[in-house]
Structure formats: C-alpha cells, structure tokens
Structure 1
C-alpha cells in the first residue's frame, strides 16, 4: 500500500478529530504554525490539508480570525 502524502495524513487526522467529537462545530483549529510544529511538517503541507478540508466542507476559514470546524 503506498504511503499517503503528508498533507493527506494531516487532513485525515483533523477529520478524525472532528468525527470523534474532539473538535466540535465552531471550535478553532490550531494555527498553521502550531499544526506545523505539532506534526513536524511544512507550512505548505498544513495549507494543503486545510484547503482540502475546506473544499470538503469540514472546516471554514474566517479571514483574520482563523479556521473553524464547520457545521455539518
């Protein structure tokens, strides 16, 4: 089985936290820098993961405030 790209692994991790209820609708995700440091990945990896989650409707970005778990 091929290894998933790091951005996909991070997106899966955040999605699992949302599905499990650890992150709830309205909760703010850690900042890009915090996610980068926590997961040992680059800023590009974090941004790609967040972009995918936004496209899928899991999270929404609020300019100047951060990224929040979306209502589903």
Structure 2
C-alpha cells in the first residue's frame, strides 16, 4: 500500500488535534512557515492540507490574520 501524501498526513494530524480537543474552536493554527519547519514539508503541502480542512469545515481562513479552528456546527 503506498504511503499517504504528505498533505494528507498533515491534514490528518490537524484533524486529530481538533477531534481530541488539543485545538479548540477559535484557536489560531501555526503559520504556513511554522508548519513547514515543524513538519519538514513545503508551503504547497501545507496549503493543500489547509484547503482540504477548509472544505471539510474544520478550519477557516481570515485574510491577513491566519487560519483558525472553525466553530463546531454539530453542537
């Protein structure tokens, strides 16, 4: 079985942090540069992961401020 793409691994990690409560609604995610450095990936990998998480409604970007954990709509 082929390894998951790096963007999928990063999205899964952040998804798990949100599910476990490590990241709460309203929390700001690290910057793209920080995530690149922490996980040894390119900005494209981080951006792809963010697009996936935004599509899933887990995070939302605020222009000029960053990416934040979205408020949960299932409560």
TM, length-normalised to structure 2: 0.94
Residue of structure 1 equivalent to 2:4: 4
**Count of residues in correspondence between the two structures:** 72
Q: For residues 60 and 13 of structure 1, what CA distance do their matches in structure 2 show?
A: 17
CA RMSD of aligned residues (A): 0.5
Q: For residues 31 and 62 of structure 1, what CA distance do their matches in structure 2 show?
A: 12
Residue of structure 1 equivalent to 2:50: 50
Q: For residues 21 and 63 of structure 1, what CA distance do their matches in structure 2 show?
A: 25
Q: What stretches of structure 1 move > 4 A for 4+ residues in a row?
A: none
- Correspondence list, 1:18-33, <5 A: 18-33=18-33
Unaligned ranges ≥5, structure 1: none
